[in-house]
Amino acid sequence: MSSTNTNTDPTNPTPTRYRRSRTMLSKPDPNWVRNDDFHNSFLIPYDDALEHALKHSAENGMPDIAVHPGQGKLLNLLARTMGAKRILEVGTLGGYSTIWFARAVPEGGEVVTCELQEKYAQVARENFEYAGVSDKVKILVGPAADTLQTLPSDEKFDLAFIDADKASNLTYYLQAKRVVKRGGVIIVDNVVRNGTVANPDIDDENVRGVRKLLEHIKNDKEVDATTIGTVSEKGYDGFLYSLYL
């Protein structure tokens, strides 16, 4: 484990951000990490509940694959920008991005998040409790391909975030489309994967899952989309942002 103090004002020390040694898809360039730290020091204050979620998740053996703070904040800002009241998430993990979303929805809004493993869901519940967002979050435990089918299509979501097993991207995307309103947004994490998705020499279930989704969207006249690549402390990756027309 390693940690870096992101504080830029020595007269006003803030707690140190929790940071694990990385086991990511690509080793982050120290220049990218410094850049994140620099920007975050102005724009994303130290946040006890989010740091607790990362630490508590790590202590319970979860992989270090939550979105990075800048992405979490972007998701929060997008949700607020569109005035999202109902958000669907596929892939809870420790609930780090869920907390960012839960804070974006107004009183009476909700985040429905799907998690495969009860063990992870329990840690996420504890993280939601600590963050004070439990009343806004509903966790559905089990294979998302099944639980998504139980969501009624007459209770629409404003926004969906897909961040689970990559092989099932298209299944999740089609289910999300069924329950997201027209004019709503579906965002998919990890569509760049250190450039492997575009590398013809690489062919694993993860890159195939992303390519299948891209192929679908190319022919789906009901959505319009773009990929935004990101370099960060989590390496080289990206979001797919799509609008349900």
- For residue 10, what are the contacts with CB-CB under 8 A and spacing of at least 6? none
**Among 190, 206, 230, 242, interactor with Mg ion by CB under 5 A:** 190
CB of 64 to ligand DHB, least distance (A): 9
Write phi, then psi, for 236 (nearest 5 degrees). Answer: -105, 115
Q: Please provide the DSSP assignment of 134-175 as one string.
A: GGGEEEEES-HHHHGGGS-TTS-EEEEEE-S-GGGHHHHHHH
- How many CA atoms lie within 13 Å of 233's alpha carbon, on the beta-carbon side? 26
**Among 37, 115, 189, 233, interactor with Mg ion by CB under 5 A:** 189
Spatial contact of 68 and 40, defined as CB atoms under 8 Å apart = no
**Among 113, 171, 190, 230, interactor with ligand DHB by CB under 6 A:** 190
**Among 36, 37, 89, 163, interactor with ligand DHB by CB under 6 A:** 163
| Window 27 to 66, contacts with ligand DHB (CB under 6 A) | 65
Spatial contact of 148 and 124, defined as CB atoms under 8 Å apart = no
**Nearest residue (CB) to Mg ion, 128 versus 161:** 161
**Nearest residue (CB) to Mg ion, 85 versus 214:** 214
CB of 168 to ligand DHB, least distance (A): 12
Closest CB to ligand DHB: residue number: 65
Q: What is the Cα–Cα distance from 12 to 136, expressed in whole angstroms?
A: 33
Residues that bind ligand DHB (CB under 6 A): 25, 65, 163, 189-190
